[in-house]
Amino acid sequence: TGHITLDFGYKNTGSTKSAITFLDGEEGILKYRGYSIEELAEKSTFLEVSYLLIYGNLPTQTELDNFQTLISRHTLIHEDMKKFFDGYPSKSHPMGQLSALVCSLSAFYPESLVAEQTKEEQELTMIKLLAKMPTIVSWIYKKSLGHPLIYPRNNFDYVTNFLNMTFGQRTEDVTIDPVVVSAMNTLLILHADHEQNCSASTVRMVGSSDCNLFASISAGISALWGPLHGGANQAVIEMLELIKADGGDTEKWINKAKDKNDPFRMMGFGHRVYKNFDPRAKIIKKACDDVLEKLGINDPILSIAKRLEEAALSDPYFIERKLYPNVDFYSGIIYRALGFPTDMFTVLFALGRLPGWIAQWKEMHENKEPIGRPRQIYTGHTNRKYVDVNGR
Ligand code: CMC
């Protein structure tokens, strides 16, 4: 075992070479395919960014139109998939449903199971997943309410179609507020990729066994669910609610987070790679103020979040450990203002991260990477004699 380097959590182990996302944690820089996240969030749409991540370049108008048309053709999901929704208890967590439903797409598109798919066939599978994800996500939500399902509208753009299926009604046309469409685009763009994080690494690891795209991404969704990863956006709101109900004493909760005997962590704080401000959090914090103001919402937990941030950033514990707010700290306050319930937040993260996962899966195949198979240092028993059950 002498040649095995042990690195719990792969803190210093590179798993691949990648040309998708650049991240400088010391400087707080994030770029997709060379474009700064700040510029993309301000000027682009989620569909354009999806194209950029998957194909490597921003699309021309014709490429974008073709991409949109192709996606529109695949937005429906098989009618039999509605039976899955009927089978879940109404309060079951949307992330469990999402992971299972995405994996189940492999049953409806068995051509995805063929390991030797041509490039064109593989790309069609990616398009199908991108196209069906908003339908699945909004139907999970509608089912949780017991409301009728709204079918995709192919004359709407990607984000508007998603919002219409989520907040629309079957009987009349609902105009989706442009403020909401724009906020949703920004949030999805900011979540679209983040190099070799836990879920992207999971997608690549599962995909490295030549497992189909749907199952690989379903595994990524499961990885994202945990509160140390994407599940943090739900955990942040629950934490802020708890602090509010407790009288808003932020100092008490900061002290709890610092106490090594207390399992409580400041949710939405800290990051494996960022040792400076998370650039996504900067943009989201500003968007949070803008969106709430434009929608005329006054959410008391926003002021608690700001006080918490201010107190943490001047506290030696957080300063020494370089713990800053991350992407999940303010995003939930926006999702809430847009009308989403808390348990849908991580699903929205997954919707945003989907093009990144697809791009990572595709790149892993194009690089012809070998199956992922880390080593270990064995610490168990060496030789034990088998004793029959009567003698144990
Ligand atoms: N609250 C209190 N202390 C913290 C926190 C926190 N949120 N995060 C890290 N620390 C402390 C930690 O206890 C450790 O202290 P010490 O050196 O005294 O033992 C030090 O800071 C380093 O932390 P770590 O746990 O070794 O760092 P990591 O890189 O393994 O973990 C993390 C990164 C994001 C899992 C962690 O910061 C955390 O649990 N944060 C809260 C959950 C969260 O917000 N997750 C979202 C991450 S960003 C988006 C995403 O991935 O989805």
The closest residue, in CA terms, to atom 12 on ligand 1 is 321
Cβ–ligand 1 contact at 270 (below 6 Å): yes
- Tell me which residue of 150, 173, 178, 147 sits closest to 75, measured CA to CA: 150
Q: Which residues contact 15 (CB under 8 A, 6 or more apart)?
A: 196, 201, 204, 372
88 phi and psi angles, rounded to 5 deg: -85, 145
Cα of 134 to ligand 1 centre, how many Å?
31
Cβ–ligand 1 contact at 325 (below 6 Å): no
Count of other CB atoms within 10 angstroms of residue 331 = 28
Cα of 265 to ligand 1 centre, how many Å?
8
- Strand (E) or helix (H) holding 22: strand 21-24
| Predicted confidence band of residue 14 (pLDDT cuts 50, 70, 90) | very high
pLDDT tens digit sequence for 59-73: 999 999 999 999 999
**30 forms bridges with which residues in the sheet?**
23
Q: Measure the CA dihedral 332/338/339/344, to 10°.
A: -40
Cβ–ligand 1 contact at 362 (below 6 Å): no
Q: Are 25 and 279 in contact (CB under 8 A)?
A: no
Cα of 323 to ligand 1 centre, how many Å?
8
Strands 29-32 and 21-24: antiparallel
173 phi and psi angles, rounded to 5 deg: -80, 130
Residue 1: pLDDT over 70: no
- Tell me which residue of 169, 172, 166 sits closest to 142, measured CA to CA: 166
| Predicted confidence band of residue 173 (pLDDT cuts 50, 70, 90) | confident
CA dist 206 and 303 (Å) reads: 41
Map 162-201 to HEC letters. HHHHHHCCCCCCCCCCHHHHHHHHHHHHHHCCCCCCHHHH
Kindly report the pTM of this predicted structure.
Answer: 0.95
Residue 247: pLDDT over 90: yes
- Enumerate long-range contacts of 283-287, CB under 8 Å, 24 or more apart: 283/37, 283/38, 283/41, 283/186, 283/190, 284/187, 284/190, 284/327, 284/329, 284/330, 284/331, 284/334, 285/325, 285/329, 285/330, 287/183, 287/186, 287/187, 287/330, 287/334
How far CA 302 is from CA of 112, 281, 289, 361, in Å, comes to 44, 14, 9, 37
Least confident of 171-185, 322-336, 358-372: 171-185
Cβ–ligand 1 contact at 23 (below 6 Å): no
pLDDT of residue 175: 83
| Predicted confidence band of residue 170 (pLDDT cuts 50, 70, 90) | confident
pLDDT tens digit sequence for 21-56: 999 999 999 999 999 999 999 999 999 999 999 999
Map 280-337 to HEC letters. HHHHHHHHHHHHHHHCCCCCHHHHHHHHHHHHHHCCHHHHHCCCCECCHHHHHHHHHH
Cα of 361 to ligand 1 centre, how many Å?
27
**32 forms bridges with which residues in the sheet?**
21, 35
Kindly report the average pLDDT of the chain as a whole number.
95
The closest residue, in CA terms, to atom 30 on ligand 1 is 272
- Strand (E) or helix (H) holding 30: strand 29-32
The closest residue, in CA terms, to atom 51 on ligand 1 is 229
Q: Mean pLDDT across the stretch 191-219? A: 97
Cβ–ligand 1 contact at 323 (below 6 Å): yes
Question: Catalytic amino acids?
Answer: 271, 328
CATH 1.10.150.250 for domain 232-338, yes or no, is no
| Predicted confidence band of residue 349 (pLDDT cuts 50, 70, 90) | very high
pLDDT of residue 117: 84
Q: Could you give the residue ranges of the DSSP H alpha helices within 15-60?
A: 37-43, 46-55
| Predicted confidence band of residue 2 (pLDDT cuts 50, 70, 90) | low
Cβ–ligand 1 contact at 197 (below 6 Å): yes
**22 forms bridges with which residues in the sheet?**
31
Domain with CATH 1.10.230.10 in the chain: 232-338
The closest residue, in CA terms, to atom 22 on ligand 1 is 321
CA dist 154 and 140 (Å) reads: 20
CA dist 46 and 187 (Å) reads: 9
pLDDT of residue 209: 96
Cβ–ligand 1 contact at 223 (below 6 Å): no
Domain with CATH 1.10.580.10 in the chain: 16-229+350-366
CA dist 373 and 385 (Å) reads: 30
pLDDT tens digit sequence for 64-115: 999 999 999 999 999 999 999 989 988 899 999 999 999 999 999 998 888 7
pLDDT of residue 389: 97
The closest residue, in CA terms, to atom 14 on ligand 1 is 321
The residue count for the chain: 392
- Tell me which residue of 135, 118, 165, 138 sits closest to 71, measured CA to CA: 135
Topology at the third CATH level for domain 16-229+350-366: Citrate Synthase; domain 1 (1.10.580)
Atom of ligand 1 minimally distant from the CA of 268: 44
Cα of 271 to ligand 1 centre, how many Å?
6
Q: Are 33 and 44 in contact (CB under 8 A)?
A: no
Q: Mean pLDDT across the stretch 365-383? A: 96
Strands 29-32 and 35-36: antiparallel
pLDDT tens digit sequence for 212-227: 999 999 999 999 999 9
Cβ–ligand 1 contact at 275 (below 6 Å): no
Two tokens at 164? 């219409």
Two tokens at 232? 């943090």
Q: What percent of the chain has pLDDT over 70?
A: 99
Indicate if ipTM > 0.90. Answer: yes
Cα of 11 to ligand 1 centre, how many Å?
13
Q: Mean pLDDT across the stretch 262-268? A: 95
